[in-house]
């Protein structure tokens, strides 16, 4: 079957000049043909993501058109404005895929609002809501290596598409022939017919205004003398982040020159993920050179931000996603109480794999902290529930340990633009009172305990990878461990059983141990990986690290 599909592609007019040579190169390589054509990229709540190339199991214009026809079929059943917003980041072929998606939508009689420049995930979420769209499309592979691209689909609320909607779209995709099934008109024809229009300056300005309205201590940053190094990691953050910093009055900003402008090859960091040291290395070098107080790096679609803070001894320390989530929650709560802007019955939200230290901080300030499944759409869903009850202003902050943050309900996905603004404002504030981010973090640990949160990943590449992952999760459920690293398991929470968790079904296991430590086992939703999240609590950092190592060493054989 896959050989017939390969032959059909080989004989078709593939338009993209990169596809035919690739097919010719693999004509005698059965394994390479099978890998590209035996399966199709799966469309789920995270949309599509895969390596660029020819075939049904690759990201290319034909797979994008097929997916967009599925989205169009769903939109046409929804009534409303019959409009879809589109944005794209600096990924290779990103603008081509965005224009092709617009062409498919226009051919289906659906209106399109597309950005005239690359813009990040939060801007797409904002435009979807601003224009009262039925859906949104973001062409991005987030932080994946350069050979990847992807396609995130959003619902009318600006959240990533719900499971139910994604299932309907997936069914429509299954009925659409990848090469011939999608309706299509050229981008130029769509513009000429008035079906395709660019996102207006009014929408762009409203996005910035919504972010700036969430300042905790307005005006404070301008007089702080904060010295900043920033890297957009060759992605979409440059324009919105520098615009916000300028509006805040932060003028001493040095951009990492090799990572300033869009570059889908990501030549200076092969894995543009702000969670890892390699992505921040250039920025750290520059921070040391200029003596910056703070170094920020946003990922290519600018929905996540990594931070290095200057310590009192002049060295720089990377801040984990959990630590920054806790610092921001603490700063927002304390600042809004001080300023008299804290809403009645405030709500913050975090994912179930994020640090329990946040629960302690929220409790201290009298804030309700809700825990939801991994994936920022579940945080967005909590905002939507508050909105439906007429209480949307109760939401003050949401975060995930994977460096995603949001303050305010103006979008429904994580936003590195507002996170950058608040991190800089927070650093400026602590500087103004003779403190620092590092000092405040140590104070939080002294007050609540020395928590350590670390994540390990195990990769399962190839066509059999997903089966291996499923087998491991099944084994853990059939034969749950009685102890891990000499610590007795005193509680097991299986999120595949919503009747026990009160949350939607998810492939996540959490083990609570007799000394208060916890281990989470969760397959990634976007990559062939199983992630293990460790929470340990020690009298100091060394004790917490030793405990983590003991637990990790005990678990790792299960994933080999």
Report, as residue numbers or ranges, the catalytic residues: 142
Which structure tokens are listed for 305? 């931000």
CA–chain centroid gap for 169, Å, is 21
What is the secondary structure of 390-429 as a DSSP string? T-GGGEEEEEETTTEEE-SSS-SS--HHHHHHHHHHHHHH
What is the secondary structure of 239-274 as a DSSP string? HHHHHHHHHHT---EEE-GGGSS--TT-TT-SS--T
Is the dihedral angle over the CA atoms 463, 465, 468, 469 positive or is it negative?
A: negative
**Residue that is written with structure tokens 């990040």 in the block:** 120
Rounded CA-CA distance 492/432 in Å is 46
37, 154 contact by CB (below 8 A): no
Rounded CA-CA distance 247/214 in Å is 13
230, 297 contact by CB (below 8 A): yes
Rounded CA-CA distance 26/7 in Å is 12
Rounded CA-CA distance 196/438 in Å is 48
Tell me which residue of 522, 508, 516 sits closest to 491, measured CA to CA: 516
Question: Which pairing describes strands 483-484 and 253-255: parallel, antiparallel, or unpaired?
Answer: unpaired
Phi, psi dihedrals of residue 109, rounded to the nearest 5°? 80, 20
Rg of the chain over Cα atoms, rounded to whole angstroms, equals 24
Query: Residues 6 or more apart from 280 whose CB is under 8 A from it?
Result: 231, 274, 295, 297, 306, 308, 318
Which structure tokens are listed for 455? 């994540």
What is the secondary structure of 184-221 as a DSSP string? ---HHHHHHTTSEEEPPHHHHHHHHHHHHTT-SSTTTG
Which structure tokens are listed for 369? 């902290």
- CB count in 10 Å sphere of residue 474: 10
- Counting every residue, how long is the chain? 560
Which structure tokens are listed for 549? 């190592």
Which structure tokens are listed for 13? 């007019």
Measured CA to CA in angstroms, residue 120 lies from 32, 86, 166, 177 at distances of 34, 11, 22, 31
Phi, psi dihedrals of residue 150, rounded to the nearest 5°? -160, -175
Tell me which residue of 231, 238, 242, 244 sits closest to 205, measured CA to CA: 244
């Amino acid at each position: 079957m896959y050989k017939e599909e390969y032959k059909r592609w080989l004989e078709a007019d593939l338009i993209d000049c990169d596809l035919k040579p690739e097919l010719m190169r693999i004509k005698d390589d059965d394994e390479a043909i099978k890998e590209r054509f035996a399966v199709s990229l799966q469309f789920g709540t995270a949309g599509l993501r895969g390596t660029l190339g020819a075939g049904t199991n690759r990201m290319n214009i034909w797979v994008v058109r097929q997916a967009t026809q599925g989205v169009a079929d769903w939109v046409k059943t929804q009534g409303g404005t019959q409009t879809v917003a589109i944005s794209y980041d600096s990924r290779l072929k990103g603008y081509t895929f965005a224009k092709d998606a617009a062409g498919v939508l226009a051919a289906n009689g659906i209106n399109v609002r597309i950005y005239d420049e690359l813009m990040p995930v939060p801007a797409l979420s904002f435009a979807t809501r601003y224009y009262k769209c039925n859906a949104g499309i973001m062409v991005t592979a987030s932080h994946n290596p350069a050979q990847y691209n992807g396609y995130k689909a959003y619902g009318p609320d600006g959240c990533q598409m719900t499971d139910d909607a994604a299932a309907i779209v997936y069914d429509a995709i299954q009925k659409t022939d990848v090469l011939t099934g999608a309706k299509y008109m050229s981008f130029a024809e769509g513009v000429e017919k008035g079906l395709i229009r660019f996102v207006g300056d009014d929408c762009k300005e409203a996005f910035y205004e919504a972010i700036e309205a969430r300042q905790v201590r307005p005006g404070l940053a301008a007089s702080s003398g904060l010295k900043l190094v920033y890297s957009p990691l060759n992605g979409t953050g440059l324009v919105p982040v520098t615009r916000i910093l300028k509006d805040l009055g932060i003028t001493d900003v040095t951009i990492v020159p090799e990572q300033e402008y869009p570059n889908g090859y990501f030549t200076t960091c092969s894995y543009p993920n702000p969670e890892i040291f390699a992505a921040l290395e250039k920025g750290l070098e520059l921070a040391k050179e200029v003596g910056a107080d703070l170094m920020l790096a946003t990922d290519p679609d600018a929905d996540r931000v990594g931070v290095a803070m200057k310590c009192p001894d002049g060295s720089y320390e990377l801040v984990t996603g959990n630590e920054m989530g806790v610092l921001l929650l603490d700063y927002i709560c304390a600042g809004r109480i001080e300023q008299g802007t804290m809403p009645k019955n405030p709500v913050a939200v975090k994912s179930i794999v994020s640090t329990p230290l946040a629960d302690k901080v929220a409790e201290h300030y009298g804030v309700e902290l809700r825990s939801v499944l991994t994936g920022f759409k579940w945080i967005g869903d909590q905002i939507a529930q508050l909105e439906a009850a007429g209480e949307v202003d109760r939401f003050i902050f949401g975060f995930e340990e994977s460096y995603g943050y949001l303050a305010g309900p103006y979008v429904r996905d994580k936003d590195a633009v507002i996170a950058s603004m608040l991190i800089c404002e927070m650093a400026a504030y602590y500087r103004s009172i003779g403190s620092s981010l590092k000092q405040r973090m140590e104070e939080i640990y002294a007050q609540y305990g020395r928590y350590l949160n670390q994540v390990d990943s195990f990769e399962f590449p190839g066509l059999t990878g997903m089966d291996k992952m499923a087998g491991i999760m099944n084994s853990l459920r059939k034969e749950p461990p009685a102890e891990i690293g000499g610590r007795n398991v005193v509680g097991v929470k299986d999120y595949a059983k919503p009747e026990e968790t009160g949350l939607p079904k998810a492939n996540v296991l959490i083990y609570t141990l007799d000394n208060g430590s916890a281990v989470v086992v969760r397959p990634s939703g976007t990559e062939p990986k199983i992630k293990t999240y460790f929470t340990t609590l020690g009298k100091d950092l060394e004790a917490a690290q030793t405990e983590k190592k003991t637990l990790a060493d005990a678990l790792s054989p299960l994933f080999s």
